Chain A
Amino acid sequence: MFKLWLAWRYLTSRQNRFSLTSSLGVIGLSIGVASLFVSMAVVSGYETTLKQNIIDVSGHLLVIKRRAESQDMELIREELGGQIKEPFELSPYIWLEGLIAHGGALTGIFLEGAVHEELNKVLNIEHRIVEGAFNLETQGSVPGAIIGKGLAQRFKLSVGDEFKVVIPFAAELQTGSFQRKIKTFQVTGVLELGRHEYNQRYIMTEMSVAKSLLENPERISGVRVALQNEDNADAYKQNINTHLGYPYWAKSWRDHERNIFRAVQLEKFVIFLVIFIMVIAACFNISSTLYVSVFRRYADISIFKSMGFSGRQVTYLFSLQGLLIGFIGSIAGLILGLILCSLFLLLQTWFPLIPSETYRVSFISVDFRWEDICLIVGSSMIICFFATLFPALRGARLNPVEGLRYE
């Protein structure tokens, strides 16, 4: 504690109150740390946003069961329960692919049929409504549908507008031919689904309505599963695919964008390494400041030695000064990083900075992870320590007699 006090006093004494060179050292390090902090927070934020968007809309696990029917739900629950070793919730769904026809235009869509009450147990989709209400009820004779934001913009659909959906299916007896079912829907709500592809193609309606578009009205596509811990999704997926096997087939939330998640991990590592070079340069700036400090304090070092300081204690004193500068620079860098992150969030609300076609998401949150912060501060401090060790060792080797000879 005594040496820490000494080091602090040297850095903050009235005659040395953060001289210009020390301040430049701290500023350089702060900028480096802030850059690291912001890039890690944005990359982690992108990962979290993508993950949350997938989980909100698709659940933790998607389990498809071939030829499943509505009455199989208890059996499905029981069979999945043998593989998923934690409490979980299920919601059946029907997944259809078809076309939307409106205003003379056509495009491919996904139509999902869901049971509203059960849906809320597995998805967190209701807060994503940007227009209208989350209402799947049939309005008069026309069933209600909630559609993606991109789809609404493309077909100029608003709440109350009607549109047609065409679902093709293979004709049983005539191979090479197909039949179709057409249904009119009324828009009850518009969703921001967070992912470009979903916003452009997604339509959700009540389960019973979706069933009416099937050949076999009792069939369901599978179930969406919510777990207590989403990180276990891959393990349970593996269990289901290995131990249950056909007719079951499971997909975890990560599988929806597995390549992107892998790419993000790699990018995060590379960005850290590249920006860390900036921190290393800043630490050497501090090192040169300390070299100057060591020679300016030659007389003080000699006095300390005459009072019983060993060379090791001198090294410790100057290293502590370097570490204090490193610590102050890191904390200032984190604060600067926080400000820059807030600006980034604010700018995103003002301008469309993120093209969703490229990045799959239209808004990137920032994610401050303890492990990232510890890594940034820890590695900066370690580099700072090594950068200051050499001037500190130089100070320890100074001959006290030389320092005491003159005023």
Chain B
Amino acid sequence: MNSVILQARNITKNYMQGSTQLEILKGIDLEVGEGEDLCIVGASGAGKSTLMHLLGTLDRPTSGDVLFRGQNLFQKNEDQLSEFRNRNMGFVFQFHHLLSEFTALENVMMPARIGNDSIGKAKEKALTLLDKMSLSHRSHHYPSELSGGEQQRVAIARALMNNPDVLFADEPTGNLDSKTSSMIQDLFFQLKEEFSLTLVAVTHDTHFAQSFTRTLRMEDGHWV
């Protein structure tokens, strides 16, 4: 394996539901190498999305550490963590989660603008990415005017905007028909090579999971 880019050490995550404490993750260890493509599979409620959120620093674990190139991420304060996420992490979600009040181009530009890039620079990069996704003719359309596949391609373009080191994909094809799903799956691997990405995906789709070099199965909050 290449050098480790992302490492989880004995991660637990508990939630309170009423007076009951739910243990979602029960001491997870994980190492992801630079440029690796990893797929996490498991039944609904197994804790795979929760783990992905913790690896992507969208949430904090109850205990345990997440290290990025050896650096403990949760020792950073919120501002530092936000900046880190902006520069190093890209996310693609099942429900694309585009900002409905902004055009495709504006959605793609957003991470660069949050990272204080100039409008000109962000626009140029965003247009290139949309072109790569064969969506340049749709750049001024709003998400509601795009098909499911187009929305997801815009979301992928947005995730790649700041050249992240790690791309997280949470059920990226869960909401698409089989043809579009297959096209998006191919796109992921093509982009992984082109952008030298580390790819961490969560999916139910066994066909998609088989395309990954490494697959891990999760059940009831731990690896099986």
Binding site for B on A (CB under 8 A): 2, 9-10, 13-16, 299-300, 302-313, 399-401, 404-407
**When chains A and B are docked, how far (Å) is the Cα of A2 from the Cα of B113?**
7
**When chains A and B are docked, how far (Å) is the Cα of A407 from the Cα of B96?**
9
Assess whether A307 is in contact with B111, with CB atoms less than 8 Å apart.
yes
Q: Interface 1/0s, chain B 93-134, versus A by CB < 8 A? A: 101011111100000001101111000000000000000000
**When chains A and B are docked, how far (Å) is the Cα of A9 from the Cα of B107?**
13
Q: Interface 1/0s, chain B 48-66, versus A by CB < 8 A? A: 0110010010110000000
Residue of A nearest to B87 (CB): A308
Residues of chain A contacted by B93 (CB below 8 angstroms): 404
With an 8 A cutoff between CB atoms, is B205 at the interface? Answer: no
**When chains A and B are docked, how far (Å) is the Cα of A180 from the Cα of B15?**
104
- 9 A-B residue pairs with Cβ-Cβ distance under 8 Å, sorted by A, are A9-B102, A13-B102, A304-B110, A304-B114, A305-B85, A306-B56, A307-B114, A310-B83, A312-B79
Residues of chain A contacted by B91 (CB below 8 angstroms): 306-307
Assess whether B113 is in contact with A401, with CB atoms less than 8 Å apart.
no
With an 8 A cutoff between CB atoms, is B86 at the interface? Answer: yes
Most chain B beta-carbon contacts within 10 A, residue among A15, A300, A310, A312: A310
Q: A401-B53, A401-B58, A401-B59 are in contact. Are A308 and B101 (CB under 8 A)?
A: no
**When chains A and B are docked, how far (Å) is the Cα of A404 from the Cα of B53?**
10
Q: Is the interface of A mostly helix, strand, loop or mixed?
A: helix
Assess whether B58 is in contact with A306, with CB atoms less than 8 Å apart.
yes
Residues of chain A contacted by B82 (CB below 8 angstroms): 305, 308-310, 313
Residues of chain A contacted by B194 (CB below 8 angstroms): none
Q: Indicate which residue in B49, B53, B97 contacts A299 across the interface (CB closer than 8 Å).
A: B97
Assess whether B99 is in contact with A308, with CB atoms less than 8 Å apart.
no
Chain B interface residue number, banded:
20 to 34
Residues of chain A contacted by B101 (CB below 8 angstroms): 9-10, 13-16
Most chain B beta-carbon contacts within 10 A, residue among A9, A307, A404: A307
With an 8 A cutoff between CB atoms, is B78 at the interface? Answer: yes
Q: A399-B59, A401-B53 are in contact. Are A308 and B97 (CB under 8 A)?
A: no
Assess whether A406 is in contact with B86, with CB atoms less than 8 Å apart.
no
Residues of chain B contacted by A13 (CB below 8 angstroms): 101-102
Binding site for A on B (CB under 8 A): 49-50, 53, 56, 58-59, 78-79, 81-83, 85-87, 89, 91, 93, 95, 97-102, 110-111, 113-116, 142, 158, 170
Residues of chain B contacted by A405 (CB below 8 angstroms): 49
State how many angstroms separate the Cβ of A294 from the closest Cβ of chain B.
15
Assess whether B99 is in contact with A303, with CB atoms less than 8 Å apart.
yes
8 closest cross-chain pairs (CB), A and B: A308-B86, A13-B101, A310-B82, A407-B95, A307-B111, A401-B59, A310-B79, A306-B91
Residues of chain A contacted by B83 (CB below 8 angstroms): 308, 310
**When chains A and B are docked, how far (Å) is the Cα of A2 from the Cα of B53?**
27
Residues of chain A contacted by B95 (CB below 8 angstroms): 406-407
State how many angstroms separate the Cβ of B164 from the closest Cβ of chain A.
10
Q: Indicate which residue in B50, B53, B59, B111 contacts A308 across the interface (CB closer than 8 Å).
A: B111
Assess whether A303 is in contact with B97, with CB atoms less than 8 Å apart.
yes
Residue of A nearest to B79 (CB): A310
State how many angstroms separate the Cβ of B176 from the closest Cβ of chain A.
13
4 other A-B residue contacts (CB within 8 Å) besides A300-B99, A399-B59, A400-B58: A9-B102, A305-B85, A306-B89, A309-B114
State how many angstroms separate the Cβ of A72 from the closest Cβ of chain B.
77
**When chains A and B are docked, how far (Å) is the Cα of A79 from the Cα of B104?**
81
Assess whether A400 is in contact with B113, with CB atoms less than 8 Å apart.
no
**When chains A and B are docked, how far (Å) is the Cα of A308 from the Cα of B113?**
10
**When chains A and B are docked, how far (Å) is the Cα of A309 from the Cα of B81?**
10
Most chain A beta-carbon contacts within 10 A, residue among B78, B97, B116: B97
